[in-house]
Amino acid sequence: MIDKRLQYISSGSTAKEQYANILGALALGIEWIQLRFKNACVSDLLALAAEVKKLKERYDFTLIVNDHVKVAYELDLDGVHLGLNDTPVRAARALIGNHKIIGGTANTLEQVMQRGLEKCDYIGLGPLRFTKTKENLSPIIGFSGYAEILESIQHELPPIFAIGSVMTQDIAPLRRLGVFGIAMSKDIESQFHERNYINTVNKFLYAKYA
């Protein structure tokens, strides 16, 4: 069951930058990390993921990895996030087990429904707007896209997270539209010096919206 509403997607072109940003996010109070180290070789990703996992000795957080199911399995991480062209959910589930988190990206209503049928634990829907952190970006859906998709859902689905250059000021309107949570990267990194940032974000995330 997904109960956390805020996910930090790591960024950085080197393992050193990645680790520093993840450490900064944890110090800020982030409790869910998606390790996303694009264009890194598997050995470098494994090494970084192993070092980040050691931080669980100091911080209580959920750690999933982007795309690499075998890395999640080998290091016994908390789960994996799968893009539209990554390992099929069924194959990932067979490898890492039912007790692990599997998130899946979606860009359209049809893909949201498919992710539901695949029994993902959560769905990353977006992008909200253009983002430099992702190559081969899917079509931007904007607030109107979220409204249209969420209003069209007729039955219960896994929690839906907004992705794609989401900023703090977007949280309340997205929650009002029916989004369960958000995944952010650069906006969190820009707030490493603001020690009350998480409290502010949580007020928006956990407020009751009509």
Residue ranges of the domains in the chain? 6-205
Report the alpha-carbon distance of residue 127 to residue 40 in Å, rounded.
Answer: 23
pLDDT of residue 109: 97
Name the strand (E) or helix (H) holding 73: helix 69-74
Fold of 6-205: TIM Barrel (3.20.20)
Residue labelled with tokens 């996010």: 25
pLDDT of residue 154: 86
pTM for the model stands at 0.95
pLDDT of residue 135: 63
b/e per residue 99-112 (b: at least 16 CB within 10 A) = ebbbbbbbbebebb
Q: Greatest CA span in the chain, whole angstroms?
A: 47
Q: Identify the CA nearest to 120 among candidates 146, 154, 157.
A: 157
pLDDT of residue 47: 98
- Three-class SS of residue 51? helix
Asked if omega into 159 is within 30° of 0 (cis), the reply is no
Q: How far is CA 123 from the centre of its chain?
A: 9
Asked if omega into 88 is within 30° of 0 (cis), the reply is no
Check: CB of residue 61 under 8 Å from CB of residue 33: yes
Provide the residue-wise pLDDT of the chain in tens; the chain has 210 residues. Answer: 899 999 999 999 999 999 999 999 999 999 999 999 998 999 999 999 999 999 999 999 999 999 999 999 999 999 999 999 999 999 999 999 999 999 999 999 999 999 999 999 999 999 999 876 666 678 999 999 999 999 999 889 999 999 999 999 999 999 999 999 999 999 999 999 998 999 999 999 999 987
| Span between the terminal Cα atoms of the chain, in Å | 23
